[in-house]
Structure 1
Amino acid sequence: MSQPNPSTTPFKAEQTFLAYNQTQAKAYVHGRPDYDRKLYDAVLQYHTSTNGQTDTVVDLGCGPGNVARALAPHFTHALGLDPSPGMVESARAQGGVSATSEPIRYELSTAEDFGCHLSPPVADHSVDLIVAANAAHWFDMDRFWATAARVLKPGGSVIVWTTGELRCHPDMPNCAAIQTALDHMQNTELMPYFNPGNILVRTRYAGLVLPWQLETPVPEFDQKTFVHRNWDVGEGFDNELPEVDLDRYETIMDTASMVTRWREAHPEKVGTEEDYVRRCRRTIERLLNEAGVEKGQEKIKGVMQGAMLILKRV
């Protein structure tokens, strides 16, 4: 099946997470593993080692706020922005404070508007670090880069990262057969519910539009210092244990936006044995049992890869 090219597909705002209520946001928190401390350390090390200051950090597409809470203790001020009311409510409920014990501020805003409507608004040249975790593939990059250049201080950083696909670990019993079966189900059933943002995640942001690639380039970002780092097996991208039971596998899969869209198209199958995620689980169970794993003892050992893009404002 042909796949859209994110760099040439007209921007369409993401609607799945935008429509999340607080209950769905709580389920998202439970289903998504946080990032490994090594990843947060890499963000801070790069930003500060390239003369980035530590006054203000802004987490775009902050969701329930885990990234803002991890980075806030290293900054004087911290702001989380998300266009989903349910996500912002969830983030506010969990709170968090900065290095000066100032509460993290969570507000409704798109990445492109960047809090321009807030009181007070985010001022020009006031932000030291902009981060976006598993969110930049939903941004209108044509508008985002110009906004980022406006709000960042000279020497400020934009650091965005994404997971790739969750793959079966080679040590898992019947790994090849399980991966082949899951790939077939995804390609034949789930692919119609992928959008360009999901494709960007699959390619680990290989096609994310950068400021110098725009029809009208944004010259404030230095292409010479651009870094695209891939995170591979064993490098500490997220802190999920490498082996989880299949109940946990289902909760992780439940948070995928394309799964949400599949369920919206098949409401009569949600929560039944015909649910897409449940059928993935049964396939894994069957193939593990064929490899000698006892019923009730099935676990999946996954490999989560990722990528990080780092840009500096001149």
Structure 2
Amino acid sequence: MSTSKPENSVWKLQNIEADYWHEYIATRPPYDRRIFDPIFKYHAANKSQFKDALDIGTGAGSALGPLLQRFQNVTASDNDTVSLAFAQERYRHIQSSQLSWTTSRGEDLLEHHDPSSFDLVTCALTFPLLDTDKALHTVFTLLRLGGTLAIWFYGPPIFLDASLAEKAQPVLYAALDHSFKPVVSGGDAQQLASWKRAADGMASWLDYIPFSEDNWTNIHRQKWNNARDRLSFFGPAACDFEVEPTSAVSSNEIVINEQDPNFWKIDWDAEMLKRFVLSIFPKPKSMVKTDEILDGHLEKLKELMGGPGVKASMTWPAVLILVRKKT
């Protein structure tokens, strides 16, 4: 089976085995207190309720654990039934009275939920894939007055050692670009538009997202480790279109840039980086394979890192956006 690209979707998952999702979880940072402490602190500062939360693009359900600890009711949504089936199995111990599921594109959630249904809406690694204006309208309508929207995104891990940052980081990016190129390039006009929106958004560190002063207030943009590295999982080398970062950041927004080597810090060897590259996007097991070019990049990484089993310290670039619906 293969990955297809239907209307209104960057890709459609077909026959994705549970093994993929376990590998995905093993090679991605956890959504722990580094992300959720700022979200919950921001939300509580407005004396907002911790009653109803919605997670858009829930995927494997990585954001659900912290939400379930704080909110009475959590709704997990995704446009893909395969993702939801895995997440449902992962959280089968949670009662349906606390955790419910919605199969829907993020832009279409008003077809499933009433306006003013949620106190918090979260969206991890998904927003650049959505139609920006439609998604913002949907979230604004779904939120209660004073409710919080939290959007976050992270990019590939980055080497902390200066020599590896100079020599090995470009090789890791080349491996990722090579993996993404057959998926990102060569599509029809609609697919190109979707991938370009995602590429431009990642290259912008999500600064492209506009928040109207008529609808939103108290806009915070927190970025980690954005001084030298990219947020994008794939760069211009993977694209058959121009990548054009833009900014909609206004003067009244709070922007924090933090270079933190301990942010989601990991110690990985070349084998873990290979696992990360091979699970970089959802695909069936039959497609989890390398070719001569990718093998070359991965072997070069291993050599630069000092050989098999030699670990290198890495951190992650990330951005968290917090905004409040105006009362």
Q: What TM-score comes out, normalization by structure 1 length?
A: 0.75
Equivalent position to 1:249, from 262, 268, 273: 273
Q: Note closer, same or farther for the CA distance 1:185–1:21 as it changes in structure 2 (3 Å cut).
A: closer
Residue 312 (structure 2) pairs with residue 313 (structure 1): no
Equivalent position to 1:111, from 103, 106, 109: 106
Q: CA deviation at 1:307?
A: 0.5
Q: CA deviation at 1:48?
A: 1.0
Equivalent position to 1:128, from 105, 110, 119: 119
**Counterpart Cα distance in 2 of 1:169 and 1:181:** 15
RMSD: 3.1
**SS at the partner of 2:154?**
strand
Letter of the aligned partner of 2:221 in structure 1?
H
**Cα offsets for 1:280-302 (capped at 9, x unmatched):** 321111223xxxx3x43322432
**SS at the partner of 1:114?**
helix
- Contact 1:13–1:138 (Cα < 8 Å) also in 2: no
Residue 304 (structure 2) pairs with residue 287 (structure 1): yes
**Counterpart Cα distance in 1 of 2:309 and 2:102:** 44
Aligned to 1:177: 167
Q: CA deviation at 1:190?
A: 4.9
Q: Note closer, same or farther for the CA distance 1:159–1:296 as it changes in structure 2 (3 Å cut).
A: same
- Contact 1:97–1:103 (Cα < 8 Å) also in 2: no
- Contact 2:79–2:104 (Cα < 8 Å) also in 1: yes
- Contact 2:52–2:72 (Cα < 8 Å) also in 1: yes
- Contact 1:65–1:91 (Cα < 8 Å) also in 2: yes
Residue 316 (structure 2) pairs with residue 304 (structure 1): yes
Q: Note closer, same or farther for the CA distance 1:21–1:193 as it changes in structure 2 (3 Å cut).
A: closer
Q: CA deviation at 1:193?
A: 4.7
**Cα offsets for 1:217-243 (capped at 9, x unmatched):** x83223xx21111123437654xx521
Gaps (5+ residues) in structure 1? 1-11, 213-217
Q: CA deviation at 1:183?
A: 4.2
Q: CA deviation at 1:65?
A: 0.9
Q: CA deviation at 1:15?
A: 3.1
Aligned residues: 275
Gaps (5+ residues) in structure 2? 1-6, 185-194, 226-258
Aligned to 2:89: 93
**SS at the partner of 2:24?**
helix
**Counterpart Cα distance in 1 of 2:130 and 2:138:** 12
**Counterpart Cα distance in 1 of 2:266 and 2:23:** 21
Letter of the aligned partner of 1:160 in structure 2?
I
**SS at the partner of 1:227?**
strand
**Counterpart Cα distance in 2 of 1:76 and 1:191:** 42
Residue 159 (structure 2) pairs with residue 168 (structure 1): yes
- Contact 1:17–1:84 (Cα < 8 Å) also in 2: yes
**SS at the partner of 2:155?**
strand
Aligned to 2:260: 234
Residue 132 (structure 2) pairs with residue 149 (structure 1): no
